[in-house]
Every structure is written in C-alpha cells, then in structure tokens.
C-alpha cells in the first residue's frame, strides 16, 4: 500500500494529473516514491507510445501534426516542471559566477535570457527528433518511446543518492533524505525485467534498449563528475535539468538509430 501511495506522490509532484488524495509526506512514503521513479517513467512512456499509436492508426493527421501533439503532451503532462529546472540551471551555469551565486540565481523566480534561449533550443531540437522518428515508425520505435522515460526517471533517483545536496532545503533535499543505498538493486530489477520482456519481442528491440541504457549511463557518469563542480551538488532544478538533458540524449539516440536503418 505504501508503494501505491509513493507512486501517487510522484504523480502529484511530477505530473499535472489531478489526484485529490492526501498522502503523508513522511520519510517512509518518500522512500517508496523514490523507489517508484522508474514506474512513473513507465506510466508516462506508455501514455506517449499509446498516443502516437492512436494518432497514427485512428486519425488522418500528418506526421508533423502527430509529432506536435506528442511534443505538446510531453510538456503538458509534466507541467513543465523539469523544463523549469532546465531554464534555472541554464541561467545559473551561463552566468559563470561562483557556486553560491549560481544557487542564488536558481532560487530567483525570474527567467533570464540564457534560460529562454536554452529552453527554445531544447524544445526545438527535441521536436526535430520526434518528427523524424514519427515519419519512420516501427514496433521497436513504439517500445523505445515507452521505455525512454524509465531511463531518465531512474537517473533522477540514482543522482539523488550518488550526489550530495547543494543545500539543506528544498525538494531534492527531502527526497534524498528518504532515498536508500539499496536503490541500485531495485532499479536493476526494473532494468532486468524490461530486458527480459524485450528479449521476447526481437533482438533489434532489445539492442535498441541496451544502446539507450548505455547512453543513459554515460549521461549519469558525466553529470556525476560535473554537478558538484558546477552547482555544489544536487538541487531540484539541477535534477530537472538532468532529466531533460538525458531525455534529449535518448531522443537523439533513437533518431540516429532510425537514420542508421537499425529501426
């Protein structure tokens, strides 16, 4: 039951789905929320994959329109929570100031020019990848779209336990206090279950997921070495920016795989 409530916490925090249920925000429930980050990603991913399938097979919309609807739903479903982190972290990073000043910039509710420019580049690039993927869809494409957010949400949990918080307050601090070192084992089980399921589909789909998993691990390795240097540790904005950055890498990977005629 606590796992269900933990998942509900994730839906309330990281999506715009209205759930009129009050869940205790104690350490035990937050721990279950962190454990179910990949399930949140799976939930989002299946919505995206089903939406694309529905629009392709049951509507007369063009590939451009389908790509736009998917792109828009990805923003609306999350309420832009990670995009907000991307903009704040971009403003802070491109200020080229001290860590203390960067943390102050991320707390400022105003968005600077670098934040605006960075989110325009992020969203336009992601739209390009989505559009060209939609024009050459295969079964593997649908499954890759479904499992892509699982990897980015898993990254969010791993960063929480592997990187020290930059400050003793905020959303990231509260979630990190609830995270446990056994998270690697739990997330590994999720990955093994996905790998086992995809191995029953075909080797091309399994290979695609394995390549995306490697890209996600590379993204984590990069962030693990740079986050402390750039921001002094993890904050909610840094986590949001990390999710958006790794998802962009994964969409680019899927796009390149389509170009290489692997999909």
State pLDDT tens for residues 179-216.
666 788 899 999 999 999 999 999 999 999 999 999 99
Q: What is the CA radius of gyration of the chain?
A: 18
- Tens-place pLDDT, residues 26-37: 777 788 888 999
Global pTM reads 0.94
Instruction: Supply the angle between the helices 203-231 and 81-93 in degrees, to the nearest 10.
Output: 50
- Is 46 buried (19+), middle (13-18) or exposed (0-12) by CB count in 10 A? middle
Q: For the segment 112-142, what is each residue's pLDDT rounded down to a tens digit?
A: 889 999 999 999 999 999 999 999 999 999 9
Coil, helix or strand at residue 201: coil
């Amino acid at each position: 039951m606590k796992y269900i409530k933990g998942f509900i916490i994730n839906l309330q925090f990281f999506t715009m789905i209205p759930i009129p249920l009050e869940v205790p925000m104690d350490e035990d429930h937050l721990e279950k929320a962190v454990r179910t980050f990949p399930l949140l990603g799976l939930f989002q991913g299946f919505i995206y994959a089903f939406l694309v399938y529905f629009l392709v097979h049951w509507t007369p919309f063009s590939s451009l329109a389908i790509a736009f609807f998917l792109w828009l739903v990805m923003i609306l479903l999350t309420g832009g929570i990670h995009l907000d982190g991307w903009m704040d972290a971009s403003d802070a990073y491109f200020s080229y100031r001290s860590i203390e000043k960067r943390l102050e910039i991320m707390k400022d509710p105003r968005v600077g020019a670098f934040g605006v420019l960075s989110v325009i580049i992020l969203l336009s690039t992601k739209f390009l990848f989505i559009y060209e993927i939609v024009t050459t869809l295969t079964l593997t494409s649908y499954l890759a779209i479904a499992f892509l957010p699982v990897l980015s949400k898993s990254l969010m949990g791993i960063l929480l336990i592997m990187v020290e918080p930059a400050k003793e307050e905020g959303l990231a601090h509260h979630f990190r206090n609830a995270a446990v070192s056994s998270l690697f084992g739990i997330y590994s089980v999720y990955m093994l279950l996905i790998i086992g399921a995809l191995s029953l589909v075909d080797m091309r789909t399994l290979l695609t997921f394995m390549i995306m998993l490697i890209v996600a691990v590379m993204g984590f390795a990069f962030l693990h070495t740079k986050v402390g240097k750039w921001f002094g540790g993890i904050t909610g904005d840094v986590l949001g920016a990390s999710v958006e950055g790794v998802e962009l890498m994964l969409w680019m990977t899927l796009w390149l795989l389509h170009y290489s005629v692997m999909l």
